[in-house]
Amino acid sequence: MSRIQTALFLGFPNVGEQDLLAAWELFRSHAWSMDNAGQSLEVTLASFTPGPITTHMGAALQVDRQLSPSDRFDLIYIPGGVGAGEAARNETILQFVRDHHAEGRWVAGNCAGMGVLHRAGILDGVEVTAPATLTRRLQAEGTRIANPRRAWKIVPERRVFSAAGAATVHPSTIALIWHLFGDQAGRELAANWDSLPLHGERLFSLVGPQMHDDAHTKAAVQASWEDVLLPAA
């Protein structure tokens, strides 16, 4: 499988708005550009939960459709939010991620969505990045986290994309589109969304900028959030 023609953004109860919608919107923007050029990219927002899904800040999102475990996409994107903790214990979601990865399809995650990829068992032997809230638990359970942490990591040979906390969602998604669809696509998106003047050439890399963690702050957010975002196995 080479060209990406279909992309799923997975919704679930208490999903993070920014984690889901910022990345979804950038992919939709690129799909619009492709459509104008006579090409096709189908971007789907869907959930295994029927009807609208409620985000972790209370907004109700109407999804495109309800998923079936047999559905397949060239890329699936797992966002974060407080609902990611329950998603990481949802065997339907975990098997869906495993099946896509086993078939050589792209699997992407950001923020607490990295806990879902981890619990699906697809990160063995690959170095990824993750939000500060989850790095301690992910490492304790055997997932390799880049040290120092990076804003994103794209691992083409494993078809795995990882992004750190919510602040990284926008630039990391542009980097992913740059890698999947080519340099021109990435640069046009970065320019149109006024990201290029802020982030510059750092956007066009498989490995994002270094995250500068304060040890005390990092330990505090881990103590507050890791049992919520990735309950102990």
pLDDT digit string, tens, across residues 150-190:
999 999 999 999 999 999 999 999 999 999 999 999 999 99
* Dihedral angle of Cα 113, 117, 119, 120, to the nearest 10 degrees: 140
How many Å apart are CA 200 and CA 204, to the nearest integer? Answer: 8
SS3 83: coil
How many Å apart are CA 208 and CA 211, to the nearest integer? Answer: 9
How far is residue 17 from each of residues 59, 96, 226, measured CA to CA in Å?
A: 8, 22, 19
- What domains are there in the chain, each with its CATH number? 6-229 (3.40.50.880)
Q: pTM of the prediction? A: 0.96
At residue 2, does pLDDT exceed 70?
no
pLDDT in tens, 12-44: 999 999 999 999 999 999 999 999 999 999 999
Nearest to 82 by CA among 63, 59, 106, 55: 55
Residue 124 has, within 13 A of its CA and on its CB side, a CA count of: 7
